[in-house]
Amino acid sequence: MDDVKKLSDDTAVAMPIRNIISIVGAVAVSTWAYSGVIERLNRIETKQEVKAEAIGLNSEFRINWPRGTMGSLPADAEQNREIQALQLEIERIMEEVEENDTWIDEFEPPQSVQESIETVRELELQIVVMQNELDMLRNHVNEMHRYDNK
């Protein structure tokens, strides 16, 4: 029982150098692999958190933007100002037209034009009467041809 050895920080161990190199290499590779796995997990978690936040903001935007609770774009404000300016300009023009449209209300064509219009109307009526008479003559001629062919 004298062979019992006591271990202390001064205890010497005899081991081949290749075993020591293998152990150190295995520890280094294990540490590198563990760091890579942890880094990958951190990256995936960060992406997931960013996407979850973006989805939340998108939902908020989708609901609140149409309601107008998120404000408006500067371009929208500029367009609204331009629309209001155009509406004021149209109102001003319409007032001016209303003030100066008496000549339109009182307008009558010259007497020669009115006479020409009446003449054209009479001619149109005469043409219609002539077309009716021509149709009647054609019908009469067609009937005579049918009667002669029998």
Residue 22: pLDDT band with limits 50, 70, 90: very high
User: pLDDT tens-digit profile of 69-128?
Assistant: 777 777 778 898 999 999 999 999 998 888 887 777 788 889 999 999 999 999 999 999
State the Cα–Cα distance between residues 142 and 137, nearest whole angstrom.
9
Residue 150: pLDDT band with limits 50, 70, 90: low
pLDDT at 73: 74
pLDDT at 3: 65
What is the chain's mean pLDDT, rounded? 88
DSSP structure string for 43-102: HHHHHHHHHHHHHHHHHHHHHHHHHTTT---HHHHHHHHHHHHHHHHHHHHHHHHHHT-H
Enter the pTM of the model.
0.37
Domain ranges within the chain, ordered by starting residue: 16-71, 75-107, 110-150
pLDDT at 82: 94
Alpha-carbon distance values, 91 to 13, 81, 97, 130, 134 (Å): 104, 15, 10, 54, 58
